[in-house]
Structure 1
Amino acid sequence: MIFNSNKPYSLPIRYHVYFWLTYFVFNTFRWGSYFNDYVYSLKTTLLGFPIHMALCYLNILVLMPHLVYKKKYFLYIVTVLSAIFVMVVLKFNLTYLLITHDVWPEGPQTINTLTLNYTIDMMMGELYVMTFVTAIKITLDFLKEQRRVTDLEKSQLETELLFLKSQISPHFFFNTLNNIYSLSVEKSNKTPKIVLKLSELMRYMLYETKGKKQTLENEIMCIQNYLDLERIRNGERLEVDMSISGDIHDKEISPVLLLTFVENAFKHGVNKNTGNVLIDIRFKVKGDYLYFTISNPMPEFTVHKDNFNKASGIGIENVKKRLELGYNKNDYKLSFKNKKNIFVVKLVIKVT
């Protein structure tokens, strides 16, 4: 894991105050109990406290970002030990001058000069405090990085979903505008009705599908508007058999997800057939799941050329990708099959 070394993770100042205040009280009572002299313990803690803090913040705010995160480990060790040594010397002299000449009362012998044993013991004590604070720093950095990665993945996922969703409307409108153009060339009286229906669909798809989910009721209404468009355009040669069963209220689904299957059925089942065409659509809500089925005839040339997979079209591939990104694997099941030249799409999807 590579942590962000440019901006060290920071907590609100009050948490720093809480930490050091707790440590100060603990240290004062700990050594006060040890020496049976709380006044002496308070004095030495007050003297040593700024040294602890200076070393800790020097380490987490300067040395770690500029040395550890840049993999300059040897220089980091040398710098830390040097800084601790300087602070130990400073602490010794301040204790000697301001508090007592018996600088190391907890040691094996009374000393009033800097010794190797005293230096090592004090350096180990400072390292203990620094290690504890550094562990907190590393933990916070790790949590920050995990959150950053999670947020990035979520952002990328949402961006990709928005991109896929944005591809659906242009694809749908392009096909419908082509239909309107064909009718206008023929000067068909169906053109005004189609334009009106299209405007209703555009209003829904542009303004009411911005969220991650849409009510199943509205999605079915959108599909019904689309079917009205196709009925106007295709006339009597088109027969649509649509049934709805179960409670569709208070159920939610990704916007314009089902419409893509319907549009695909017309693109490959109606537009490429010259005779009468039957489109069969089934909505069945059972518990928390929607069982959606749509079937359309496949033109002979599509079957003969073994283009069954291609018959699904770009729109279906788009939907498959949206399902992968927007739903858990166990929350949906999508299948396709060709049954006696009838292309059947089945989708079972969670709609709560």
Structure 2
Amino acid sequence: MPNLVYKKKYISYVIILLIALFSMVLIKFNLTYLLISHNVWPEGPENIKELSLNYTVDMMIGELYVITFVTAIKITLDFIKEHKRVTDLEKSNLETELLFLKSQISPHFFFNTLNNIYSLSVEKSNKTPKIILKLSELMRYMLYETQSKKQTLENEILCIQNYLDLERIRHDERLEVNMYISGDIQDKEISPMLLLTFIENSFKHGVNKNVGHVKIDINFKIKGDFLYFSVSNPMPAITIHVDNFNKSSGIGIENVKKRLELGYNKNDYKLSIKNKNNIFVIKLKIRVS
């Protein structure tokens, strides 16, 4: 009968409830009369041997208490079960979405690096083995070390350093990368591949779309339970690239924003994105305790 309540068929529920109550009273009356005593209502105001209106109403009210109590328990248990099912489903969906967002990271970087490896191999450059080694280390980390929800900050920084080494090899002298680390990075954890997206974005739009010398500044500062991270790069020099930057650079950033929303509480991070004096600056304060 609770299913009728869930389906909002209240009239049907009341009708079936009354029929059930009357049936129970009728069965109780006959069993008492035949098996126990002809006085079926010894606690009542009168001695009856036939089904009466007073007896029926009194018994139905008594049975209603029992049915109401049992129904309340049933509905409560169903509510708890459904709430758990919905919670587990939401958790599963969030985890699936996080995995999907992580899987979107850096595909174009790998393609670009493989193209560079091919070019260097054709030229029989001495850089080829070093690039292959760095790329294999980076791919191993991305494939096998990022499955958990959190990764040590040390490993994340090591991954970023491998990424930067590859970019330095690719771009030679025209690229200047300054990375600063201050504070204690021991025993600190962060969502994997979170910071690399910001750095990759700075190379995609600050290096690949500029000519000549390009400077990238990256800063890691640990203070208490929080990491203060920043990365800055020049805006694309060519006008058409500036337009494309405004339209496309947000893809990776939006990815990270979504991951932050899914993986952290609002008080655990603060993201700031600014364009000042033709310098694109990203700042992230995030809990790493």
Using the size of structure 1 for normalisation, the TM-score is 0.77
* AA aligned opposite 2:2: M
SS in structure 2 of the partner of residue 345 of structure 1: strand
* AA aligned opposite 1:177: L
Verify: 1:216 aligned to 2:150, yes or no. Answer: no
- Who is 1:64 aligned against? 2
- Who is 1:248 aligned against? 185
| Residues in 2 aligned to 1:187 and 1:311: alpha-carbon distance in whole angstroms | 35
- Who is 2:217 aligned against? 280
Alignment gaps of 5+ in structure 2: none
1:69-84 correspondence runs (5 A): 69-84=6-21
Q: CA deviation at 1:83?
A: 2.0
Give the alignment's Cα RMSD to 1 decimal: 2.0
- Who is 1:323 aligned against? 260
SS in structure 2 of the partner of residue 344 of structure 1: strand
Q: CA deviation at 1:110?
A: 1.4
Alpha carbons of structure 1 residues 283 and 266: separation in structure 2 relative to 1, 3 Å = same
Alignment gaps of 5+ in structure 1: 1-62
SS in structure 2 of the partner of residue 168 of structure 1: coil
- Who is 1:85 aligned against? 22
| Residues in 1 aligned to 2:113 and 2:241: alpha-carbon distance in whole angstroms | 28
- Who is 1:337 aligned against? 274
| Residues in 2 aligned to 1:312 and 1:328: alpha-carbon distance in whole angstroms | 25
C-alpha deviations, 1:215-256, integer Å up to 9, x for none? 100000000111111122222222221111111111111101
Q: CA deviation at 1:322?
A: 1.2
| Residues in 2 aligned to 1:64 and 1:325: alpha-carbon distance in whole angstroms | 36
C-alpha deviations, 1:70-111, integer Å up to 9, x for none? 443333322221222122111112112222222112211111
1:5-154 correspondence runs (5 A): 63-65=1-3, 67-154=4-91
Alpha carbons of structure 1 residues 139 and 167: separation in structure 2 relative to 1, 3 Å = same
Q: CA deviation at 1:165?
A: 0.5
Q: Which of 161, 164, 167 does residue 227 from structure 1 map onto?
A: 164
Q: CA deviation at 1:136?
A: 1.0
| Residues in 2 aligned to 1:178 and 1:347: alpha-carbon distance in whole angstroms | 32
| Residues in 1 aligned to 2:269 and 2:160: alpha-carbon distance in whole angstroms | 20
| Residues in 2 aligned to 1:211 and 1:187: alpha-carbon distance in whole angstroms | 39
Aligned residues with identical type, % of pairs:
80
- Who is 2:234 aligned against? 297
Verify: 1:157 aligned to 2:84, yes or no. Answer: no
Alpha carbons of structure 1 residues 164 and 323: separation in structure 2 relative to 1, 3 Å = same
Residue correspondences, number: 289
**Which of 183-192 and 339-348 deviates more?**
183-192
* AA aligned opposite 1:80: L
Q: CA deviation at 1:143?
A: 1.7
Q: CA deviation at 1:206?
A: 0.3
SS in structure 2 of the partner of residue 343 of structure 1: strand
* AA aligned opposite 1:342: I
**Which of 288-297 and 264-273 deviates more?**
264-273
| Residues in 2 aligned to 1:343 and 1:180: alpha-carbon distance in whole angstroms | 29
